[in-house]
Amino acid sequence: MAIGNDTENWASEEFAAANLGDARLSYRLVALARQLSTSPHTSLPQALSPAELKAAYRFFGNDQVDTDGVLAPHIAQTPHRLDQIPVVLAIQDTTEFNLTHLPATEGLGRGNGGNERGFLMHSLLAVSPEGLPLGVLGIKTSARPEGTEGSAARRKSRPIHEKESIKWIEGLAHLSALKSAL
């Protein structure tokens, strides 16, 4: 996964297979990946010129652009990098996004802190033992329905397939399926 001087080839190889329903959107994804890969440690406003930033926001605001469409080609490329590393760590983690400050946003759920509104993202990331990210292996987003607060006793009595924690088992099953496909 050479990025340095090879950003044009990297971005094309990584995202050329994106199917966003419009070739212009797929081209924009490759161009955006190329631009952002030159300064991955910065925010969008820091990495892009004002015109590029406006184009990026238009891209992400397009109804045809979704998480699956953007990540699918990257996830498909990740196993190719795994073949080059003798030991790969597959790390799962859940991140909570608090979007309470965006009251007009639809489709959000209940957060951990009472009235907070947002969503959860459970990701499966491949890294080398030295910590080099190799790519995303899977990602699942969810929103907790409003009014699902409950006592710990009720949660403990539910079967695992009805619990939010099933995501950990699903992650292992996804990883097992990927390993079998390699």
Q: Determine, yes or no, domain membership for 70.
A: no
Considering the domain boundaries, does residue 69 fall inside one?
A: no
| Residue 161 falls inside a structural domain | yes
Residue 160 lies in a domain: yes
The CATH number that applies at residue 100 is: 3.90.350.10
List the CATH number of the domain containing 56. 1.10.246.40
Same domain, 109 and 56: no
| Rounded-to-integer distance, Cα 117 and Cα 140, Å | 18
Residues 151 and 88 in one domain: yes
Domain end: 35, 61, 87, which one? 61
Q: Look at residue 55 and tell me if it is in a domain.
A: yes
Q: What is the pLDDT along the chain (182 residues), one digit of tens a residue?
A: 444 446 568 888 899 899 999 999 999 999 999 999 888 899 999 999 999 999 999 999 999 999 889 999 999 999 888 888 899 999 999 999 999 898 888 888 888 766 688 899 999 999 999 999 999 999 998 888 776 666 566 777 788 888 888 888 998 898 888 777 76
Tell me the residue range of the domain where 94 lies. Answer: 75-181
Alpha carbon 39 to chain centroid, angstroms: 19
Q: What is the pTM of this model?
A: 0.78
Within its chain, how far is the Cα of 169 from the centroid?
18
Closest among 138, 9, 27, 127 to 76, alpha carbons compared: 138
Q: Are residues 41 and 110 in the same domain?
A: no
